[in-house]
Amino acid sequence: MKNLGRNRVWKKKGFYNTTSLLSISLLIFIFIFIFISYTSHIPNSLLPISRTSQCTPQNLPGQRFLWYAPHSGFSNQVSEFKNAILMAAILNRTLVVPPILDHHAVALGSCPKFRVLGPGEIRLSVWNHVIDLLRSQRYVSMADIIDLSSLVSISVIQAIDFRDFISLWCGVNVDFDCFDESNDQSSLLDSLKQCGSRLSGLDGNVDKCIYALDEDCRTTVWTYQQNDDEVLDSFQPDEQLKKKKKISYIRKRRDVYKTLGPGSKAESATVLAFGSLFTAPYKGSELYIDINEAPRDQRISSLIQKIEFLPFVPLITSAAKEYAIETIKGPFLCAQLRLLDGQFKNHWKATFLALKNKVDSLKKGPLPISIFVMTDLPEADWHGSYLEDLARDSGSVKLYVLREKDELVIRTAKKLIESGHGMRLKQQCPPQVLPDILLYIEETVCSCASLGFVGTAGSTIAEGIEVMRKFNICPSHSQTAL
C-alpha cells in the first residue's frame, strides 16, 4: 500500500508538470507568432542588423567589394583614392567610392614615427564622419569632383557609390539624399552604428562576409609582382625609437595579390576592408604601398599610367578656364602659398623667397605682371608680409584672388548639384549647403598659368598642381591666347 500511495503521488506530480510544460510551450508559440506578425510591418531600416544579413546572395549577388578609410586633406584623399583604384583592380573587386571628408576631420598620424591610428579605429572614425556628412547634407562624393568616366566607361574598374553600398550592406531602405538631422531617426542611426562597427572589423572578421585588415604602415609595404613577398623592407624603426616608444614592429614587403587574392582567406569575403591607403616615398622605400609597375600584367601597367593624373569634372575645369580667360585676360604667374597649416607656418621666409626670386626675374619683361594668388592666409592678415608688398606694387604687379563667395564659384557649385552626382542620378533632395569647390577651381587656374608656377615646398597641393601642368590641362593654344 505504501508503494501504491507513493506511485499515485508521483503520477499526480507528473501530470501537473506535463500540463505546465504544455502551457509554457503554448505561450511561447503565441509570443513568437505575435512578434513575427508585428515585425513584418516594421520598416527594414528600423530592424536590428543580423550578423549575416549583409552578405545574403539576394542583397549582394556575386559582388565583392573593397572599401578603405580616407583621411587628412583633399590632396591626400585623392592620393589614397588612386591607390584604392589600383588595389581594387588587382584584386578584381568593386571599389566603394567614398565622399570627400572635411579637411583633417580624420587624421592618420605619422608612419615614420610608427604612431598611427589602427585600421579598425580609422575605419570607424571615417564611418562616423560620413554619417555626419549625410545628416548635415554636406555629402559630396569623390566622383562628383574627380572625373572617373575614362576608367568606368571602359570597365577598367567597377565602382559603387558609398551611399548605395550602405543601403546594400546595412540592409536599410533609406534615401540618404534626404537624410537629415531634423528627422527622428534614432533607430536608423543605431542600426548604422552597429553596421559601421561590424564593417570596421571591431566585431572581428565574419567568414565569407567581411575581412578587415589589421595590417598598416607599421608592419607592411604592399607590392605586386616584385618577387619580394615576405622580404624585410629597407625602412625599419631604429633602435633608439624602439627603446623610446617601446615598439617591436617589423616591416615586411608583401605581395597584395598573393596575400589577399585567390586562395587566401580574404578572397572569399564579400567585403575587403583596408584602413588608410596613404603612402609616400621615405628613406629609399615607400611608407605603405610600393606598386609603380606591373611587369607581367599589362592591364595593371596601363592603369598605373592612367591614374597618375585624374582630372576634375568638366564643370570645374571650365570654370577655371573661364576665370583665366575672362578675368585675368593674359599671361600670368600662379603662386600657391600654404602658410598656416602644420609645418608650413614655420617656413614663411623660404616660401616667400622662392616667390620673390620668380617675380624679380619676371620684372625684366613686360609689366605689370599678373599673379594669381592661392593661399590659406586671409587677405586681412597680409600686413607685414611679402604679399602686402606685392599688393602695394601696383605699377609692376597685378594680383588676382578667387574667393568662396565670388559669383563664378557659387554658380559652378550650383551647376555641380544640378548636373547630378557622380555615379548617381539627380538627387531628390539637393544639399542645403553648397559644396566647397574653391580649392579645385584654384588648382585648375594654377595649372593654366603660362608664366610659371611657384608652389610651397612639401605641399601635396603643389604636387598635384605640378601633375596637372605636366598633363597640359590648358593646351598651349589656350595659354597663348591668354
Please tell me which residue, 274 or 347, carries the higher pLDDT value.
Answer: 274
| Type of residue at 58 | Q
CA nearest neighbour of 398 among 462, 352, 451? 451
Mean of per-residue pLDDT scores for the chain: 86
Q: Note the pTM of the prediction, 2 decimals.
A: 0.85
pLDDT of residue 45: 32
Average pLDDT, integer, range 366-376:
97
Checking if the pLDDT of 163 tops 80, the result is yes
Question: What stretch(es) of the chain map to CATH 3.40.50?
Answer: 314-471
d(CA 333, CA 450): 7
Average pLDDT, integer, range 159-168:
91
d(CA 129, CA 101): 8
Q: Kindly report the CA angle at 341 between 339 and 347, in degrees rounded to 5?
A: 45
pLDDT of residue 278: 97
For 241-262, the pLDDT digits (tens) are: 999 888 899 999 999 999 999 9
C-alpha cell of 274? 583596408
pLDDT of residue 180: 66
What percent of the chain has a predicted confidence (pLDDT) above 70? 81
C-alpha cell of 418? 544640378
pLDDT classification of 427: cutoffs 50, 70, 90 = low
pLDDT of residue 150: 85
pLDDT of residue 62: 77
pLDDT of residue 347: 87
pLDDT of residue 24: 58
In this structure, CATH architecture of domain 314-471: 3-Layer(aba) Sandwich (3.40)
Measured N-to-C along each axis, helices 438-447 and 314-323 cross at an angle, to the nearest 10 degrees, of 60
pLDDT of residue 232: 97
Contact between 441 and 400 under an 8 Å Cβ cutoff? The reply is no
Checking if the pLDDT of 480 tops 60, the result is no
For 103-139, the pLDDT digits (tens) are: 989 999 999 999 999 999 999 999 999 999 998 889 9
pLDDT classification of 430: cutoffs 50, 70, 90 = low
For 326-369, the pLDDT digits (tens) are: 999 999 999 999 999 878 888 899 999 999 999 999 999 999 99
pLDDT of residue 306: 94
